[in-house]
Amino acid sequence: MRLREDVTSVDWIEDDKGLARLVASFKSEIGVDTEFVRTNTFYAKIGLVQVFSNSRVSLIDPQKVKDWAPFIEALVSKELTKIMHASQEDLELFRDMFGIIPKNVFDCQLANAFLDGNFSISYSGLVSRLQGVTLEKSETRSDWLVRPLTANQEKYAAEDVLYLEDIYFSLTKDLALLKKLEWFLEEMDRLVRPEEFPPEKYYLRLKGAWNLTDRKLSYLQAACQWREELARQLDLPRVRVASDSELLELSRGELLGFEEITAVIRSRVARSSIKVLLSKLDGYKLRSPKERSASPLVSGDRKLLKKMQTYAHQKARRMSMAPELLGRKRDLEQCIRTFDANANLSEIFLGWRKEIVGNDFSRMLSDHFGHAA
């Protein structure tokens, strides 16, 4: 397999001893990526783990490696930098697979967002911009569980980690030069905590639930918890059990018996668990949920949101940063709600963003709500 001249080899790691030797060879940083399939399951099915270290690409076969302890130790090591790109799904995969969250992760996509206006640049786009190399992306939707992999799949997988180390050094140098490295590291610390909703709180993610009565919201909470637990148990996508719209329709019903539920939720896999759902609904009907989804902002607050967003985006462009870093809509909405409730900025604007936009937001919010700045 031809990659580039300075890469000495591409190795397959297909047993525990090989993995242990690979981990023992790690120095101060490694490039890491994964290939997985998640089309018909709740949990991603790992197909391959790629590592770049010491001018070598290693393709780790999860179908053959059994003892992952050395690799897990490397993932949680604070001394070893793990270089990734758009790492969120990889971090979630490692969490589900190993029960850990990797430490000392450097996400190239996030680092780049501090240096230009592109918040979601692809790995191939970043390689093209920084390395002048065009990568083929023909295997993006490959089945990584089938063996043997094709030559094209192997090349694609190897190239996904081949340039991570070079990009890391380039981005780190630029971040330090522009005095943005500390900002990035603080944001990186937030990123490596993947968002996770326990089954009993999943109802908070559904749109259209904010205006339900307490009783109907409690039904929705019970139905969402039932779906979440069943989807995990059967390892099926949530929609294969029941769709969000079906759960919302169900929660709006008055008398919910077996026939009423089966008239709404039609999936075969759900039928055998309807009695469990009935039991949960019965247990929740006298409860009032402790948390509610936020209601839409009123007209005046929406105008303030637009003003804050415009200000943040202008500031980001002047600083050659992605606008999303300073003014994502959901972050600004949360900031407005938090300030309205307790006259404080939300947490995200109390860190590195405070000096850049947080203090100005505080003044805007104080003027808007009549609080003292």
* Lowest-confidence segment of 117-126, 264-273, 285-294, 349-358 by average pLDDT: 285-294
Residue 9 pLDDT > 90: no
Of the candidates 132, 135, 107, 3, the residue with the CA atom closest to the CA atom of residue 58: 3
CA angle, residues 89, 130, 126, in degrees to nearest 5:
25
Confidence check: pLDDT of 2 > 70: no
pLDDT digit string, tens, across residues 21-42: 999 999 999 999 999 999 999 9
In the predicted model, what is the mean pLDDT of residues 3-14?
A: 80
- What local confidence, expressed as pLDDT, does residue 137 receive? 77
Query: What pLDDT, on a 0 to 100 scale, did the predictor assign at position 168?
Result: 98
The confidence band for 290, taking pLDDT boundaries of 50, 70 and 90, is: confident
Residue 252 confidence (pLDDT): 87
Q: From residue 311, how far is each of 318, 323, 327, 336 by CA, in Å? A: 11, 10, 8, 15
* % of residues, the chain, pLDDT over 90: 80
Instruction: Count the neighbouring beta carbons within 10 Å of the beta carbon of residue 271.
Output: 13
- pLDDT tens across 108-118, in order? 999 999 999 89
Structure tokens at 149: 């992999």
pLDDT tens digits for 137-171?
776 778 999 999 999 999 999 999 999 999 999 99
The predicted structure's pLDDT at residue 196 = 73
Mean pLDDT for the chain? Answer: 93
Confidence of residue 282 (pLDDT cuts 50, 70, 90): confident
Which token pair is 97? 């697979």
Q: What is the predicted pLDDT for the residue at 70?
A: 98
> pLDDT tens, 176-231?
999 999 999 999 998 887 677 799 999 999 988 898 988 899 999 999 999 999 99
Confidence band (pLDDT; 50, 70, 90) for 256?
Answer: confident
Distance CA 285, CA 228 (A): 19
Structure tokens at 57: 């690409």
The pLDDT tens digits for 41-75 are 999 999 999 999 999 999 999 999 999 999 999 99
pLDDT of residue 8: 64
Report yes or no: 333 and 210 within 8 Å, Cβ to Cβ: no
Tell me, what's the pLDDT at 184?
98
What percent of the chain is modeled with pLDDT above 70?
A: 96
373 has a pLDDT exceeding 70: no
Q: Domains in the chain and their CATH numbers?
A: 9-191 (3.30.420.10), 199-284 (1.10.150.80), 299-369 (1.10.150)
Q: pTM for the whole thing?
A: 0.92
pLDDT for 5 equals: 66
29 bridge partner residues: 81
